[in-house]
Each structure stands twice: as structure tokens, then as C-alpha cells.
Amino acid sequence: MIGLTSCARSFVVILMLVLALSAAAQRTFSTDILKDIFGFDDESVKSVVLDDLRQGCSRRDCIPSIDNPKYVTVAEATHVDDDDVVLALSLKGYHRAWPARILDQHEIVNDVIAGMPIAITWCPLCGSAVGVVREIDGQITEFGVSGLLYNNDLVFYDRKTETLWDQIEAKGIVGPLTDTRLELVPVTMTRWKRWKAAHPDTLVLSADTGFDFDYSRDAYGKYRDEERLMFPVANSSDAIHPKSVVFGFELGSRQIAFAEALLLQSSPLEHEFQGQTYDVARAGDGAITLANRESGEVYSPLRLYWFAWYTFHPETELVR
């Protein structure tokens, strides 16, 4: 790509990634990430069928994580428009925001906030934002993009044990820490205008990531509107458009999902579920919560596309 401008190079990189994902189900790669890089085979400890892991690119870290993030103030965040979607976090009095357009090209940010080692993970194919603690059994690790997908979902790996982790379930699926669950950190997805108005002290991920990408492009705009998926999924539902945004909650052994379109029209919302009354509310900064009116217990959701939630939670109730 010698001689190309920064914008042109970024466009080429995005195009190559999208084309690679689109073609992955139809071709093979010279390097088998699962076996050649991680050394996993049928004898490895696992909780999934290895054939269900799809390879999305030619090597691990083909999508580079951000391991030394830089931040700017709200006033300095000229690279974020008011209507841009951000992943946001409020933790122990600290406020952070990560523009989705930057995470489209990195998917993972390893960070430390309020002394807590965390990772913000984003899967543009599933529209899922998951925050996790990077300390596992007293050991701090970093996470990277494996180059593999499970039911279209991001599979990341930890750089200490090289266990493979499914993002939506935040669970080890292949390797030494199989069936281990990561501690979650609630992440909000909202519009930048709403978040910054509520939290003017927010620090925002800078476009100075150390990588030569053009973050002004919406790499997955067309994909969001289409019904097609990159790879087959274990369970499917045509109740609503597969890429309709929902907020999914796990309530013990039962699951429930609320369509974003409903919550934008009606909030707060009262809903009866399994003999209990719940209030669903959307805060001023865009955060969604579900509260049990009887017990007072408050739940945080996973925000993602309907097809992705249903794939992992086929017994879910959908409120739309």
C-alpha cells in the first residue's frame, strides 16, 4: 500500500477485513489458527465442538487490540460526533467512552480504570458490547482477538494461558480455563450527545491509537441493515429483524430481552415476568436497567443484535 494516503490505507484495510469475513465460510486459510497457532485439537479441554469455531482471518491478532489507550477530554473529542454510538462506562466515579467506529477496527481495549484491570470488548458482527475484568484467579492478563468466531461472535484469547473465550457468554470455551466465567463490568451503549451531557468529566478514547486507520468510516453500516449473517448460527428466530437491537437480561435460569425500539418509545416500562413485576428504565445517559419491584434487585443488560441473543438464549422471552 505504498503511496496511499492514510484515508486510502484505512479504507483498504477495512475492505480487506470485510471481504475476508464474507469469504471465510467459503474458503480455507493456509494457516489453521486453532491448530497451528493455539495447538488445540480434539483432545484439548473444551466445552464446544471445534468445528463450530469459524476462522475469520489468516492469523490471530489480525484485528489489533488497543493495549495502551490514550484519552482526551470531552472538549478535545472533536473526532466524535453527537450522534455517534459509544460504548461507555461509569466505574467508581470514573467515566469513560469508546467510540464504536474506533472499536470496529480493534474490538478490544485493555485498560485499567480506578485501579481495576478491565477489557472493553466489541463484536461488530453481533453488535455486542461486553466489559470484563482482566484478573483471573489472582493473575492479571491481557486479551487479544483470536481470529476465530463462535456463532458469529468474537472469540478472544488471554495472553497468559491462551484460553479461548466466547465474548457474549464471557466464558472460556477451549483451553486451560474452559468453563471459567469472567467477572463482568456493565457497559452502556448510547449516543455521544446523551452520555457527555450526563457525564461532562468523561475521558474519551483518542483517535491516536498508534495505528494508521481512518476512524471516520462506518465499516459495518451496510451489514447492520442486511438480514444476512457471516456464518451459520446454532439457533435462529424470525420474530424480528435479526439485527434489531435488544437488551438481554439473565434472571437466574430464565432470560428476557427487550427490543430497543420499544424502550426508546416507552421508558420506564412495567413488565410482568415469571410472577414478578419488573421496571425497565432508561437513564439520562442512556443506560438501561431492569429492577425487580418486589426484591429491589437491579440487573444490567447485554446489548446486542436479536439473532445473537437468541442464538445463545433460545428459551428467551422477547418483549417488543
pLDDT given at position 1: 46
Residue-level pLDDT at 266: 78
Helix or strand run (H / E) with residue 304: strand 302-305
Domain match, 193 and 254 both? no
- Alpha-helix runs per DSSP H in 125-278: 192-198, 221-225, 260-265
pLDDT tens column, 222-233: 999 999 999 999
Hey, what's the cell of 161? 494461558
Q: Is 147 left (phi over 0), alpha (psi -120 to 50) or beta?
A: left
Q: With CA atoms as reference, report the closest residue to 110 among 146, 75, 158, 77.
A: 158
How many other C-beta atoms lie within 10 A of the C-beta of residue 93?
Answer: 7
pLDDT of 27 reads 55
Q: Cα 103 vs. chain centroid, distance in angstroms?
A: 9
Residues 92 and 182 reside in one and the same domain: yes
Within-domain flag for 183? yes
The answer to whether residue 150 sits within a structural domain is: yes
Q: Do 144 and 118 share a structural domain? A: yes
Radius of gyration of the chain (CA): 19
Structural domain harbouring 300: 233-319
The answer as to whether 227 is a domain residue is: no
Measure the CA–CA gap between 214 and 14, rounded to whole angstroms. Answer: 9
User: If you count them, how many residues does the chain have?
Assistant: 320
Residues 36 and 76 in one domain: yes
The CA-based angle 158-160-164, given to 5 degrees, is: 30
Same structural domain for residues 280 and 158? no
Low-confidence ranges of the chain (pLDDT < 70): 1-27
Last residue of a domain, which of 190, 220, 250? 220
Q: Look at residue 205 and tell me if it is in a domain.
A: yes
Cell numbers at 74, concatenated: 470531552
User: Do 207 and 303 reside in the same domain of the chain?
Assistant: no
CB 253 within 8 A of CB 273: no
CA distance between the termini of the chain: 47
**Are 11 and 109 part of one and the same domain?**
yes
In a domain, 115, yes or no: yes
- Residue 184: exposure state from Cβ atoms within 10 A (0-12, 13-18, ≥19): middle
Last residue of a domain, one of 196, 220, 244: 220
d(CA 205, CA 66): 10
Same domain, yes or no: 45 and 188: yes
My answer on whether 72 and 115 are in the same domain is yes
pTM (predicted TM-score): 0.90
In a shared domain, residues 201 and 240: no
Which single residue is written with the C-alpha cell 457468554? 169
Confirm whether 215 is domain-assigned. yes
| Dihedral class, residue 107 (left if φ above 0, else alpha if ψ from -120 to 50, else beta) | left
1 assigned to some structural domain: no
In a domain, 226, yes or no: no
Residues 175 and 292 grouped into a single domain:
no
- Overall number of domains in the chain: 2
